[in-house]
Amino acid sequence: SAAELKPILKWINSNRAPVNVKYYGVDKGKNVFVFHLESFQQFLIDYKVDGKEVTPNLNKFYHDSHTLSFDNFYNQVGQGKTSDAEMMLDNSLFGLSSGSAMVEYGTSNTFQSAPAILNQLGYTTAAFHGDVPSFWNRDNTYKSWGYDYFFSKNFYSNASKSTYNVGYGMLDKIFLKDASKYIAELPQPFYAKVITVTNHYPYETNKEISSQFPATTTGDKTVDHYVQTAHYLDSAFGEFIAWLKASGLYDNSVIYVYGDHYGISENHEAAIAQLLKKKKITNYDLAQFQKVPFMIHASNLKGGIDHTYGGEIDVLPTLLDLLGVQNTNSVQFGSDLLSNKRRQIVSFRNGDFVTPTVIKMNGTYWNTQTGKSIKYKTASKSMKKFIDKTQEYVDDQLKYSDEVVTGDLLRFYHRTNFKTVIKKNYSYTTSST
Ligand code: GP9
Ligand code: MN
């Protein structure tokens, strides 16, 4: 009921970070791309194998003088993996502690999502994904989120068997080439979410992929091909950026690039140790290993590496800040990464967390700066207090987000200047061109 929203709104309002006047609205009216790098971890940035960069195009983009790059940005997904990342990016709501929120609540719930907010400000909104529309219940969820268009597998003339037999859907290069034909036709300004898939466990390769880059030699079969599919994704990204430049879209768009979640799970400790050139992997290292890229490129942004601690839940308020969309009465659980006044707490779905001073990973505590272990029992009074207060924030943030999702509480909330999305007005008829 509406009453259930009360304590939630109180929590949100007391944790809401004010926008940064330096950034507010500077990219108002520009096209927006959200480019989803499947299973892509931050450690790959500037990483080399046999002296060769795994991801030369992304590295260039990361260091570009107009890219704001975050190097303490974490994935916050749970079992819903990609779908959790999408929930967070488009809604600033967490996935659930088990299962997928998109699958369980995507069809029925009321949302106040990025595509709907921007649509009502004159944006055309579209999602692109080279696999079947039903995966993660996208076809229904995207209607609830207000996507005008969902270009899935059947829209792509080249989604033939031969391009569809590696990984989770169309090969990224072919997918992006086909998708760009639709992107070119979108009325501007637009919000376009582009979801890649080839760099997905178990990192299958074909000749084209494996001949371009050497595998690593940890001896762990799935891990060793990760850099090869990551390299392939990077080439696909490079081609896409080249097309954006040629089409003129590069300069009148804000381009967000992010990795959705880890590619190598904790179960591969020995291989991770070799990749990171460490003797032994601790929970501290595993926490660092949850970092994913987050970059914002716009021709009028001053680039650089931003060390603020944040994660996927924080993207939507950040994006709305840059676009100058009033967002002071939203039900969103993240906080603007560009704000100087935000609390730098990154919550993991299991209640662990990362802050600039303390990390909690798999229930163990670490000094973020030194990597030394902290024992809660023997910690100083002030340290205990800090940990307790941080834990309270993390638990409340997750609990309240879950209440909003499982109780469908946004149906009782009126966002200023926002009209409820009427799902039946949307249909994503599959056509073959
Ligand atoms: C499936 C793709 C992968 O459509 O997005 O999802 P994941 O397995 O990473 O959650
Ligand atoms: Mn994924």
Which positions ≥6 away from 244 have C-beta within 8 Å?
33, 250, 253, 255
If you measure from the C-alpha of residue 172 to the centroid of ligand 2, how many angstroms do you get, rounded to a whole number?
A: 14
Cβ–ligand 1 contact at 289 (below 6 Å) = no
What's the rounded Cα separation, in Å, for the pair 374 and 142? 43
Task: Give the residue from 331, 335, 333 showing the smallest Cα distance to 319.
Answer: 335
If you measure from the C-alpha of residue 71 to the centroid of ligand 1, how many angstroms do you get, rounded to a whole number?
A: 24
**SS3 track for 171-212:** CHHHHHHHHHHHHHHCCCCEEEEEECCCCCCCCCCCHHHHCC
Cβ–ligand 1 contact at 36 (below 6 Å) = no
pLDDT of residue 430: 64
Ligand 1 atom, smallest distance to 84 CA: 10
pLDDT of residue 246: 98
Residue with tokens 């290069």: 173
The residue contributing the CA closest to ligand 1 atom 5 is: 82
pLDDT of residue 104: 98
Ramachandran quadrant class, 167 (left: phi over 0; alpha: psi -120 to 50; beta: rest): left
Number of other CB atoms surrounding residue 274 within 10 Å: 19
pLDDT of residue 88: 99
- Give the phi and the psi of residue 53 in degrees, each rounded to 5: -65, 135
Q: Which residues of the chain have pLDDT under 50?
A: 432-433
Ligand 1 atom, smallest distance to 81 CA: 10
Model pLDDT for residues 262-276, shown as the tens digit of each residue: 999 999 999 999 999
The residue contributing the CA closest to ligand 1 atom 6 is: 82
pLDDT of residue 432: 45
Cβ–ligand 1 contact at 138 (below 6 Å) = no
pLDDT of residue 157: 87
